[in-house]
């Protein structure tokens, strides 16, 4: 089979289009061809990493994000996606470190604050998780997910009034938010039970 000869940008654009079509293996091949032409283009490595991430190939994704970060240590999106890949590998402490680096570069990245909060919650560091969700809400005051997750952490700390307030805030922003609605009902039942016993 004869290899198609294209300039780097054409391989890169072809990879982006294949990625959009969710043809991840073919997109990876295009990004590999682009990186053969220019191995120092951080965007090629980043996009290739996104494809591997979409395939749940977290080790390969991590290698690509690391390569992008070797080229540009301040590439915020690569730090963020490296954290996501590390979560896929169940390396939560390392993921938190990468979210912190992403936040250091861009403190207004609400998604990084939110996912760092989720990781803190996973580690049962509920006060730290609440701080992260607060930052995410500060960045985006309509972030009903952060409000709900903040409420759940208050709930785990047996601070039901604070939890209820968070769930109500989430429902004010998104009246159909399923998680907030379910957790609010659970809290009401807990309060009812405590009052009746």
**Final residue of a domain: which of 55, 80, 106?**
106
- 């590390």: which residue's tokens? 86
Taking only the tens place, the pLDDT of each residue in 167-194 is 999 999 999 999 999 999 999 888 777 7
* pLDDT (0 to 100) of residue 191: 77
| CB within 8 Å of 11: residues ≥ 6 apart | 30, 31, 33, 34, 37
Per-residue pLDDT, averaged over 151-157, amounts to: 97
Dump pLDDT digits (tens) for 82-141: 999 999 999 999 999 999 999 999 999 999 999 999 999 999 999 999 999 999 999 999
Together in a domain, 19 and 73: yes
102 and 45 within one domain:
yes
Query: Structural domain tally of the chain?
Result: 2
CB 155 within 8 A of CB 163: yes
Nearest alpha-carbon partner for 95 in 122, 66, 119: 119
Query: 14's torsion region: left (phi>0), alpha (psi -120 to 50) or beta?
Result: alpha
pLDDT digits 0-9 by tens, 3-40: 555 565 789 999 999 999 999 999 999 999 999 999 99
Of 90, 106, 122, the domain-final residue: 106
Tell me if 28 sits within 8 A of 12, measured CB to CB: no
pLDDT at 190: 82
| Domain closes at, from 88, 106, 124 | 106
Given a cut of 90, is residue 195 above it in pLDDT?
no
Domain membership of residue 158 as a residue range: 108-197
Asked if 171 and 87 sit in the same domain, the reply is no
For the record, the structure tokens of 156 come out as 């785990």
pLDDT of residue 193: 75
Same domain, 137 and 98: no
Same domain, yes or no: 97 and 5: yes
């Amino acid at each position: 089979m004869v290899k198609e000869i294209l300039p780097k940008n054409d391989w890169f654009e072809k990879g982006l289009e294949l990625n959009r079509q969710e043809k991840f293996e073919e997109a990876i091949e295009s990004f590999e061809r682009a990186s053969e032409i220019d191995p120092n283009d951080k965007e090629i490595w980043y996009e290739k990493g996104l494809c591997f991430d979409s395939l749940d190939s977290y080790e390969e994704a991590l290698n690509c994000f690391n390569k992008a970060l070797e080229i540009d240590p301040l590439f915020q999106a690569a730090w963020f996606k490296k954290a996501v890949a590390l979560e896929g590998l169940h390396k939560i402490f390392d993921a938190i470190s990468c979210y912190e680096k992403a936040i250091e570069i861009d403190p207004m990245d609400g998604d990084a604050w939110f996912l760092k909060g989720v990781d803190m919650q996973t580690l049962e560091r509920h006060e730290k998780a609440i701080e992260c969700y607060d930052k995410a809400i500060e960045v985006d005051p309509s972030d009903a997910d952060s409000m709900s997750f903040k409420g759940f952490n208050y709930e785990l700390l047996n601070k039901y009034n604070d939890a209820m307030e968070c769930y109500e805030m989430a429902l004010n922003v998104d009246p159909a938010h399923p998680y907030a609605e379910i957790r609010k009902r659970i809290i009401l039942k807990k309060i009812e039970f405590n009052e009746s016993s």
